[in-house]
Amino acid sequence: MKTFPADFLWGGSMAANQVEGAWNHDGKGVSTSDLQFKGLHGGVTPRSAGDSCIKDTAIDFYHQYPQDIKLFAEMGFKVLRTSIAWTRIYPQGDEAEPNEAGLAFYDQLFDEMAKYNIQPLITLSHYEMPYGLVEKYNGWGSRNTIAHFEKYARTVFSRYKDKVKYWLTFNEINMAIHSPFTGVGLSGEPSKQEIYQAIHHQLVASALAVKACHEIIPDAKIGNMLLGALRYPMTCQPKDVLESLQKNREWLFFGDVQVRGTYPAWMGRYFRENNIELQISDDDLTALSHTVDFVSFSYYMSGCATFEPEKYLTSRGNIIRLIPNPNLKASEWGWQIDPEGLRILLNDLWDRYQKPLFIVENGLGARDVVESDGTINDSYRIDYLRQHLLQVREAIADGVELLGYTSWGPIDLVSAGTAQMEKRYGFIHVDRDDQGQGSLVRRRKNSFWWYQDIIRSNGAAL
């Protein structure tokens, strides 16, 4: 049985807007995420005086990061995936010069990680963009946003070129087709034409960031990031199989462009049938030729596809409505638990792209109970992660080249989908509730010690 590679990158994953807090400190501007008071479908109206949101403070990672990094190091992390808040660097998105206070914060964060030999894996844009770009340019609906993103990317590449060697462009870039405001900053109910034009601009910007990274940090690796929305045919009826193919293509399209450097032929038919005519310049086509070094993705659940969806009830999983698989159990939040699906997805992506893969999100949201003695017995989380990591090991034995695994999230954080604290993922409990009350004290859960043992043994303890 092939085991995990000796240089396998074990760690955890989180996002600036879900942990940092300090939403308006040190010159930070308002981001789209700051306006989403109730999760990914939140409002888009700028804050008024007195408005507050649980993300305002989140878990106060902005001020408490030294103790959190120390706890991650205690678990043995080799890598920590987080994001840079774009609005800490360019508060409105189109300033002539970056905000030095924001740049300095991430210098301090990366230096703290370096003390413990933890590699940063940094996402340039994780479900947030400057709201100033939404107000002035209609977000990614405008070609102007491409240049502003490229400028931001070049700024942080130049600043952190000696500190960060692993980068991602956009978090779950395919989310734009499900939540356009979250993904591409489009308000209201945009048409498919508007959504896919905005997606095209974002794909061009991603490719230009890849080009810039290769120029500025030649020894770095930069990847894309997909929401792994695996769909099985509900039955072996050929029409269900075809529907499954088409549903999977909806999100694989993003990977195909970023890995292969061109639009897949079958998207031409989709565009024709939906009256979508993209404005694509020759410069765009040249830009898209700059392809990623590796493919990263999130995986939480799978679903089913059928040509007769009216026959089945759908369930809300994050913000994608899925037809449940009758063979699987689900979490409290309706996310179906499918460890074997992760092995299937790893093999599918490896066969399709033949580029190294990186699992950058996988975890279980659950309600944790702090016992009277302060312990937190989250055996359900341990079981979930163990079952998935066993399938990861199987995929490696299948021949999949895998760089690492960062669980979501290593510490309790504000849920992106529900804007809750009580939907907890972490190995570390943070004393804060959905009303924003609590001491913010950190406690190690039982899963903390389990994951420490998994990392120490490089997976052998599974």
* Helical packing angle, 446-456 and 61-75, nearest 10°: 50
- Is residue 1 assigned to a domain? no
For residue 38, pLDDT beyond 70: no
- Is residue 3 assigned to a domain? no
Report CA-CA distances (Å) from 351 to 103, 184, 345, 392, 399.
39, 29, 10, 15, 10
End-to-end CA distance of the chain, in Å?
13
Name the token pair of 120. Answer: 């940063």
- Is residue 187 assigned to a domain? yes
- Is residue 243 assigned to a domain? yes
Position 418 scores a pLDDT of: 74
As a whole number of Å, the CA-based R_g of the chain is 21
CATH number of the domain to which 257 belongs: 3.20.20.80
For residue 88, pLDDT beyond 80: yes
- Is residue 462 assigned to a domain? no
Whether 422 sits among the annotated catalytic residues: the reply is no
Q: How many domains does the chain have?
A: 1
- Is residue 286 assigned to a domain? yes
Q: Answer yes or no: pTM beyond 0.75.
A: yes
- Write the pLDDT tens digit of every residue in 288-299: 999 999 999 999
Which one of 150, 194, 243, 361 is the catalytic residue? 361
User: Is the distance from CB of 20 to CB of 63 less than 8 angstroms?
Assistant: no
Name the token pair of 429. Answer: 């409990």
Q: Which structural domain, as residue segments, surrounds residue 120? A: 9-456
- Is residue 461 assigned to a domain? no
Which one of 172, 194, 243, 394 is the catalytic residue? 172
Report CA-CA distances (Å) from 335 to 332, 362, 451.
7, 12, 22
For residue 334, pLDDT beyond 50: yes
The closest alpha carbon to 127, from 140, 142, 136, belongs to: 140
Whether 401 sits among the annotated catalytic residues: the reply is no
For residue 179, pLDDT beyond 70: yes
Report CA-CA distances (Å) from 85 to 120, 222, 419.
15, 18, 18
Burial 413-439 (b: 16+ CB within 10 A, else e): bbbbbbbbbebbbbbbbbebeeeeeee
Position 312 scores a pLDDT of: 82
User: Is the distance from CB of 451 to CB of 385 less than 8 angstroms?
Assistant: yes
Q: Where are the alpha helices (DSSP H) in 191-338?
A: 192-216, 238-260, 265-273, 282-288
Average pLDDT over the chain, rounded to whole?
A: 94
User: Is the distance from CB of 287 to CB of 204 less than 8 angstroms?
Assistant: yes
- Is residue 274 assigned to a domain? yes
